[in-house]
Structure 1
Amino acid sequence: MNRVVPALAAVCVLGLAATACSDASGGSTGAAPTSSVDATASLKGVKLTMWVAQNSVGEPKQAIEAFEKATGATVTTEVIPDPYESNVPTKLASGVKPDLMFWQPTGSTLPFIQPATNLLQLDNEDWVSKLGKTEQSLGQVDGHRYAAIVTSPAVLGVYYNKDAFAKAGITTMPASYDELLADGAKIKAKVPGVAPFFEVGGDKWPLQWQVQAQLTDLPQSFWDDLNKNKESWTNKVIVDAITKYKTKLLDAGLAQKNYKTATFVDQGKALMDGTAAMALNVTSLQSEIQATSDTAEMDKKLGWFPIANSSASAEYSPDQTNGVVAFKSGDTKRENAARQFMSFWLGPNYANYIKANKVVSVEPSVANPAGLPQTAIAQSKALATATGVFQVKALTAPDMHLALADMIYGKKTPKQVAQAAEDQFTQVLKARGVAGF
């Protein structure tokens, strides 16, 4: 799932105290002296550990098994209980470190594990130049790379039921958020019994996406100023986006009746059975549907299109399965083995890995595996011109979805949702000692 990081919970109050709350490097850089790695060199007797989340335990399986067979190394996965993004910093603060770990490769989330202090620099690895443009932009903090990008970031857009669109007479996909809402109103009027949108108040985290899609016209200068404490989450554009979501979609009856309690799993089922026409969500919804539906059924029933506030463009949102980091252990043999594992994963093994996991390629020179649903192919094409969600652009990502959940239950106004984001943003960056806060 593409849940967002609980920002405040993961910062210094969880035990990353004292020196861990600063960005000082403390010790060696862990930088690789060379970019050339023999990905299949013998590592007999070398043992590595890799931390994974409960929902990503199967993701590295093919890469691990192939690496062990090719090199003789042993890679043991350890599941960190949910919430992963909170429990990982807590465990690191206790002094325990793995050799490798899944972690969200964004500038808002990498700092939680103090990369300059804890992680190997990956600036010169042989796989960096193989990555696509968007993927190359991820995994970096303060000018250094700390994460290998093994899967493409989740893409935010609209999944739609083809039959519902046909019944509503919609043949041209909307090219702005206002057009999207207009199509929702058309579906409500012309297709009785079908909810224009399926919203997920029960799991909360997908509530943010309707707002995120509306923030795409904010210039980079806004985010630059926000990160210097010269702008605020209470900016009128953000408050207006939250207000529009509430008044023009939810209050206007464009969501299903049980939107306050419905779940992520319910969303996929409703799209496939046609009781809902649209869902604005990230790639994890596609993965959820793939678990119970084959490609042919998905292609028959579902379509996908990108949407932004004033254009037909997508957004991308990295999650923890996109990035792999390697820790400084002081054991050169294990550190080099971790580098070799990444080179193997993104090198000779990559085509096999994406085929086994049925995901799109992050390397333009490696073709997507056959049999992907058309929704996945459409998302892959949209990624090249997609813009990052606020988890990518802000120094830390507030848990806006939690405040939006309060809003749908009448506990917060749109302005109070924005203020909650501002308060948390400021508090986390103060705790991290970021200049200006």
Structure 2
Amino acid sequence: MKTHRPIRLAVGAVAAIAALALTGCTGGTSSDDGSKLSIYIDSDPSSIALWDGLVAGYAEANPDVEVTVETHPAGSEGDNLIKTRLSTGDMNDLFWYNSGSLFQALNPDETLTPLDDESWVGSIDDNFTTVVSTDEALYGAPVGASFAGAVVYNKDVFADLGLEVPTTIAEYNANNDKIKAAGIVPVLQSYSDTWTSQVPVLGDFYNVTAAEPEWADDYTAGKARYSDAPAIAGFQSLQDAFDKGWLNEDFASATYDAVIKSLVEGTGAQYPMLTGNVAAAIGENYPEADASIGVFPIPGPDADSNGLTVWMPNGVYVPKTTTGAQLEAAKDFIDWLVTPDSCAIQAESITLGGPFVVDGCDVPDTAASLVNDMQPFFDDGKTGLALEFLSPIKGPSLEQITVQVGSGISSAADGAALYDQDVEKQAQQLGLDW
């Protein structure tokens, strides 16, 4: 899923320093003495904005090293280019790429330089180190911030109705009934943009692993199914919202942008969504409403195990073909990338959808209010990785199936069973022995 559309903010006077390094973003150069480094990133505008700021900041602190940026297309085409460059030995000095299952597909033990011994490793959130490591080594450093799949809500509506933030599914359901009785839409959905329908299922994964910590491994091995508890709960929440009349009347045709407007205006109270998307939309279109928009985890059966399902930022990696002075320069660059100074530049360059995953990198005062709502869950260790970081299996038809269940076309049981069939086909394509 596309995570968000960050706003590109001015990086001040240092932006001019990066102009030559980023001109056209069509190619990168390196050297044999470490005076020039090249990094390979995707061509999404938000990625360019992020690295524009970082290259400028590094140039200001390290004027003797020139960092150039080369871009590749996003998506599967970019995945293939990354793999091709690694396999042919033509990769740049560094590259910025997904963490989790896509990282594992790079055969990192054979293609990447281990970074276990670097001084910054102990300052990284365990969730991130998990998704850039193999049984043999750690290979990546984070650049960017986390985000979550959760319930974004209008705080003013909750205050007016005297509602508390729910920590269990029973409390959530009771709140929805009270919101509906007040003439406000309890749960907003935007099925015109079908990708948005997946969040109640994907964002419920913290609750799945709280109940069964080995579920992801069992799922990858073909032993766990969405049609069984606890994973069916996400599909059940979609069915309940339809059956109980909690949805906006135009849920089938409503767009993501229209639903954000309803949330801001208070005609709808809650929206299961990715925090990165909402933070960007509020910042771009409704900055005056920021203080009114909060977020809480998708509730599960038990308040004691209530926590956030989180997505990790991309990692910066060094291919094994980077050696000698280039390797030392690349490591020095990474050392800087995981500092508070770097994080401050990142916060200026993009819209944060969640906290950083580096100790000492605090959420700035300018960040969206909902990011501050997320921080306590990180501080208390009540976050868990989304399934895509723990398993390579995600069926291509999930968003169509979740629309069917959320629209009352299929029951939760039928939808979950359909998705089990969908992921089985994908597992076979991946060569897994199911």
Q: Distance in 2 between matches of 1:144 and 1:52?
A: 29
Q: Output aligned runs, 1:12-411, within 5 Å.
A: 43-69=34-60, 70=62, 71-80=64-73, 84-92=74-82, 94-95=84-85, 97-106=91-100, 108-170=101-163, 172-190=164-182, 192=183, 194-215=184-205, 216-217=207-208, 218-246=211-239, 248-284=240-276, 285-294=278-287, 297-299=289-291, 301-312=292-303, 313-318=306-311, 321-329=313-321, 332-347=324-339, 349-357=341-349, 359=352, 360-383=355-378, 384-399=381-396, 400-408=398-406
What is the match of residue 10 of structure 2?
none
- TM-score of the pair, normalised by structure 1: 0.78
Q: Distance in 1 between matches of 2:3 and 2:37?
A: 34
What is the match of residue 35 of structure 1?
none
**3-state secondary structure, aligned to 2:285:** coil
Query: Offset of 1:219 from its aligned partner?
Result: 0.8
User: Cα deviation per residue 1:201-225 (whole Å; 9 max; x = unaligned)?
Assistant: 2222332222245451431133332
Q: Distance in 1 between matches of 2:139 and 2:193?
A: 31
**3-state secondary structure, aligned to 1:304:** strand
Distance 1:117 1:51, change over 3 A: farther
Equivalent pairs: percent with the same residue? Answer: 18
User: Cα deviation per residue 1:377-425 (whole Å; 9 max; x = unaligned)?
Assistant: 1112212312223223434333423421344567655344324433443
What is the match of residue 416 of structure 2?
418
Distance 1:397 1:146, change over 3 A: farther
User: Cα deviation per residue 1:276-328 (whole Å; 9 max; x = unaligned)?
Assistant: 1111222211222122333x6411x2232233312453323325x44333334
Distance 1:141 1:325, change over 3 A: same
Distance 1:223 1:252, change over 3 A: same
User: Cα deviation per residue 1:5-55 (whole Å; 9 max; x = unaligned)?
Assistant: xxxxxxxxxxxxxxxxxxxxxxxxxxxxxxxxxxxxx84344443334344
Query: Offset of 1:127 from its aligned partner?
Result: 1.8
Residue type at the aligned position of 2:269:
A
**3-state secondary structure, aligned to 1:164:** helix
Structure 1 gaps, min length 5:
5-41
Aligned residues: 388
What is the match of residue 18 of structure 1?
none
Distance 1:421 1:86, change over 3 A: farther
**3-state secondary structure, aligned to 1:57:** helix
Is the 1:181–1:249 Cα contact (8 Å) retained in structure 2?
Answer: no
**3-state secondary structure, aligned to 2:69:** strand
Instruction: Name the structure where helix makes up a greater proportion of residues.
Output: 2
**3-state secondary structure, aligned to 2:152:** strand
* RMSD of equivalent CA atoms: 3.0
**3-state secondary structure, aligned to 1:59:** helix
Q: Distance in 2 between matches of 1:409 and 1:351?
A: 41
